[in-house]
Amino acid sequence: MPKKTRQEKILARLRRLEKDQNPVGVSDQNLVGAAQTPKVSFQLKTETNPAAAAPIKATSFDYSYVYKDLTKSLVFAAVAIIFQVILAIFVLK
C-alpha cells in the first residue's frame, strides 16, 4: 500500500475534526435551537501538468562492488580447490 500524500493526510485530519464537532447520537432536530458549528471546507490544488514535469534522468549504476566480490569469491574457490588437490596428492602417497 503506498504512503499517504500530504494532501491525503490533511483531508483525513479535517474529516476527523469534522466528525469530532458533530456528535454521533445527536439528531438534526436537537440542533435547531443550539448554535451550530461552522462546516470546514477545503479545496485541493492539482498539479499544473504532470507530463510537463522534469523528464526522468537516465541514471547509471555503479556495479564495481560486484566485480570486487566476484574476484574475491573466485580467488577463494581457487585456493580451496588447490588445497584439496594438494591434500589428495599427499594422502595417496
pLDDT tens figures, 2-37 = 788 888 889 888 888 888 887 655 555 555 555 566
Is 42 part of a structural domain of the chain?
no
One DSSP character per residue, 50-79 reads GGGSPPPPPP----HHHHHHHHHHHHHHHH
Is 57 part of a structural domain of the chain?
no
Is 44 part of a structural domain of the chain?
no
Is 45 part of a structural domain of the chain?
no
Is 68 part of a structural domain of the chain?
yes
Sign of CA dihedral 78, 82, 87, 89: positive
> Based on the structure, what is the number of domains in the chain?
1
Is 40 part of a structural domain of the chain?
no
- Which range of 13-17, 26-30, 44-48, 75-79 scores highest in mean pLDDT? It is 75-79
Tell me: pLDDT of 38 over 80. Answer: no
Q: Copy the grid coordinates of residue 19.
A: 466528525
Q: Copy the grid coordinates of residue 34.
A: 443550539
The mean-pLDDT minimum among 41-45, 48-52, 65-69 falls in 48-52
pTM: 0.35
Is 3 part of a structural domain of the chain?
no
Task: Domain of residue 76: give its range.
Answer: 62-93
- Higher-confidence position of 41 and 66: 66
Is 67 part of a structural domain of the chain?
yes
The average confidence (pLDDT) of the chain is: 78
